[in-house]
Every structure is written in structure tokens, then in C-alpha cells.
Amino acid sequence: MEVSEAIKNRHSCRAFLDKPVKQEIILQILEIARFAPSGVNTQPWQVSVVSGSIKQKIGEAIIREREAGVPENPDYHYYPTEWREPYKTRRKACGLALYSSIQIALEEKEKRKAAWYRNYFFFGAPVGLLFFLDKDLEKGSWVDMGMFIQNVMLAARGLGLETCPQAAMAEYPDIVRGLLQIPSEKALLCGMALGYEDLNHPINQYRTTREPINSFTRFFDDDHRSI
């Protein structure tokens, strides 16, 4: 698969086949991803691979906390506290496309909650990845993590698998760290579902749009700026 094709056709897969992913394939993906750039070659990424009963326990434990009304306690804030344009409109369009694909209306709160809770089980994928880095590292290392995570997704596509990066898996990091016996000094950045796509599931049919180049790019030269 060409790199450009892998990038342009990648999407967040939310329904997977009941087909196991061999450990050697996971290792192949990480072998490729580890060549991501990082500032002064710090390579801050740390990955926990979960499957089977431990993956199930993570989902069950998070849902118990949510149902008990325990507030989220992420290691960082992914989204803004107040949404403004153009991000507010893009967010609404994304949510509408997702729930429309599985025919869940805005007022169907229980169905929406059930759909959301699938996040915590990695959308039924056979494998979940959890990305950690040391809490005392600065923002540059978080940028490095983003490049590593993108490598994971592209490498997976090249090997015939699909992924869904998940900020939701970092909402209750203490639960995840506790179950995996990971020290509190490690920040949980996000999770990722990994597996073989169910091409027939309606939730995998919708796509989000991207802004045109001229909406986010400016060129500068010696004399003037052009768009």
C-alpha cells in the first residue's frame, strides 16, 4: 500500500471482525512505528497491549465508575473547556455523522450511552493498545507521541488491519494503571483499537470531511504573502 493511500483512506474503525491478531503482527507494527522521530531521540513512547480478559476488565471497571457517578480524572485535558467556532461546528458534524450511521437519534439517550460505552471495550477489537509516557516530560514529548501513534495506525493499515485512536480510554487513568500495575508516574495518553475491519457494519461506512488546503495554509516569500 502506498503511503499516500494509507494516510488518505485511514479512518476510525468502530466495528471489527471476530478474528484474532497474531502477536507477531502486533510486533511488526511496533517495529515499524518505533522509527518515528522524537526530539534529541528521546523516544518517549511506552505501549501496553491488552487482549482477552484484561481488556474486558478495563472496560467493565471504567463503566462501573461512570455508572457510580465518579468524575473523570484524566492526566491531561484533551478538549477545550468551552467550544468555539469553527471547532464547535466540526465537533457537532462529526457526532451527527457517527450516530446517524447507526440510526440513533439525538433524543435516544440510552442508545447513545450504550454506543459510547463500546469505547471502553475498544469497539470489540481483539486488541487494545494503551500509550503512556513519563509525566515529567514536556509538551515536545507529547508531540513525539503523536507522530509515533500515527506511525502505528499507518503500519497497521499496511499490514491489512484498521485502528481507532481513543481519547476516551484515558478518562480514568488510575483504573487502567491499577489493573496493569503501571506506576502513577506514567501518564496515559490514549488508547487504540486494533483489528480487522468489519466492512459490512454501517458504523464503518461514514467518513468525516477535511478542510481544503487554502483554509489552513499561508505561503510567505521575500515580498508578499499569498494563499
Cβ neighbours around 199 below 10 Å, total: 11
Q: Give pTM, 2 decimals.
A: 0.94
Digit-by-digit pLDDT tens for the chain (227 residues) are 889 999 999 999 999 999 999 999 999 999 999 999 999 999 999 999 999 999 999 999 999 999 999 999 999 999 999 999 999 999 999 999 999 999 999 899 999 999 999 999 999 999 999 999 999 999 999 999 999 999 999 999 999 999 999 999 999 999 999 999 999 999 999 999 999 999 999 999 999 999 999 999 988 887 766 65
Is 14 in contact with 164 (CB distance < 8 Å)?
yes
Which CATH fold would you assign to the domain 3-207? NADH Oxidase (3.40.109)
Is 53 in contact with 128 (CB distance < 8 Å)?
no
Give the Å distances, CA to CA, from 208 to 7, 96, 97, 152, 170. Answer: 14, 10, 8, 21, 23
